[in-house]
Structure 1
Amino acid sequence: MGIKEAKKIIMETFANTARRLGQSELVGYIYGALFLSGRPMSLGEIAEITGYSLSHVSSAMRVLEGVGLVQRVKKPGDRKAYFIATKNFSEWRSSAFYEKILRDIDETRENLLRALKELEHEKGSEVEEIKKKLEIALKRNEVARKLLTLIMQFRSEEELLHVLEKCSK
């Protein structure tokens, strides 16, 4: 049961990641199926592997294409659309995936600043406590933005890992 269980773990890991990012678990299952397959797959094949309907798979595939995690490919002489998972770090980096995270970080910052502005003229110990928490959240938000921006500058995962290894010595 080793390989079957390993594949199940991988698929569930991608599904959980998709849920944490606010997407349907199907998005993760599809990416997992493509990641494991190593070859282009049709919508029908993906539906069969995931156990979801063709219409659900098609809708989720639009999400995955939109964020650049899958790519549509054509096979010569075949009218069907096939899909592959992008596995290369630079493909992920260049996709809208990171841009979405950056937008979320920036939106969070704007909301934290708005909340701080609302407390500008307020007094009291509760107000001061909330202000402290907001300041801490803003600092963490800035660290997250800087880290993500830094990661996006690397051309490959190997380059990123090499730099991180040098820094850790």
Structure 2
Amino acid sequence: MEQANSISAEQELILQNARKRVIASIGKNMDLYGITQSIGHLYGMLFFQNKPMTLDEMGEAMEMSKTSMSTGVRTLVDLKMVNKVWEKGARKDLYEVEMDWFQTFSDFFSLKWRKALEINLSALRKSKSELSHLLQQNSEDSQLHAIVQVDLAKIDEAIRYYLWLDRLIDAFESGDIFNYVPKDAPPQG
């Protein structure tokens, strides 16, 4: 007995509509990652592929130029949302979606947060040093002293926040975050 390898037109329509809905949703929400809607659609299309694709195949599927596909894929690779893969006998580069969305989220936000943390901590520490030096040079000026102390307190609170963010980033990078917020919700009971 031979198994049927095809699906009906009605089943195909339901399947394609379900996929299109998810792809559209992904595209709309990719601004969270600083990605355009069209690159989000590319990611969504790749998500539903069951095999790696070349730029030419993506361009044909998305009806976009190879240049646009190249730019979009490069963005997704840089964000670690798409991986370049090797396949025996393939002459062109192949790409597939990183299926571990937990890792994608961790990688993306760790990278962005770490950059912001370093920039802001550097500015805060430099300003704190300058203000402390200003206090030392003008220790008799009570009005200046009061103003600078308020600013120093604000800077110390900001530094405290960024040191906390540094620990949070470490927890994302090490995977320890999942000890506190498990990937799967505990059973409801």
TM over 0.5: yes
- Amino acid paired to 2:155: L
3-state DSSP of counterpart to 1:32: helix
Q: How many residues align?
A: 161
Please tell me whether the aligned partners of residues 26 and 40 of structure 2 are also in contact (alpha carbons under 8 angstroms).
Answer: no
Q: 2:72 maps to which residue?
A: 60
1:105 aligns with 2:117: yes
- Amino acid paired to 2:45: A
1:141 aligns with 2:157: no
Identity rate of aligned residues, in percent?
A: 19
1:17 aligns with 2:32: yes
Please tell me whether the aligned partners of residues 42 and 83 of structure 1 are also in contact (alpha carbons under 8 angstroms).
Answer: yes
> Aligned partners of 2:116 and 2:95: how far apart in 1?
28
Q: CA deviation at 1:87?
A: 2.0
Q: CA deviation at 1:10?
A: 1.5
Q: 1:150 maps to which residue?
A: 171
Pair 1:135–1:61, CA change in 2 (3 A): same
> Aligned partners of 2:101 and 2:128: how far apart in 1?
37
Please tell me whether the aligned partners of residues 43 and 57 of structure 1 are also in contact (alpha carbons under 8 angstroms).
Answer: yes
Q: 1:39 maps to which residue?
A: 51
Please tell me whether the aligned partners of residues 68 and 86 of structure 1 are also in contact (alpha carbons under 8 angstroms).
Answer: yes
Q: What TM-score, normalized by structure 2, do the two folds share?
A: 0.62
> Aligned partners of 1:103 and 1:125: how far apart in 2?
33
Pair 1:36–1:128, CA change in 2 (3 A): farther
Q: Which has the larger radius of gyration?
A: 2
CA-atom RMSD in angstroms: 3.8
My pick for the range that moved more, 84-93 or 66-75, is 84-93
- Amino acid paired to 1:147: L
> Aligned partners of 1:151 and 1:44: how far apart in 2?
35
Pair 1:132–1:39, CA change in 2 (3 A): farther
Pair 1:45–1:136, CA change in 2 (3 A): farther
1:1-52 Cα shifts (integer Å, max 9, x gaps): 96233320122212x1221xxx655554443332343432221343355565
Q: 2:95 maps to which residue?
A: 83
3-state DSSP of counterpart to 1:37: coil
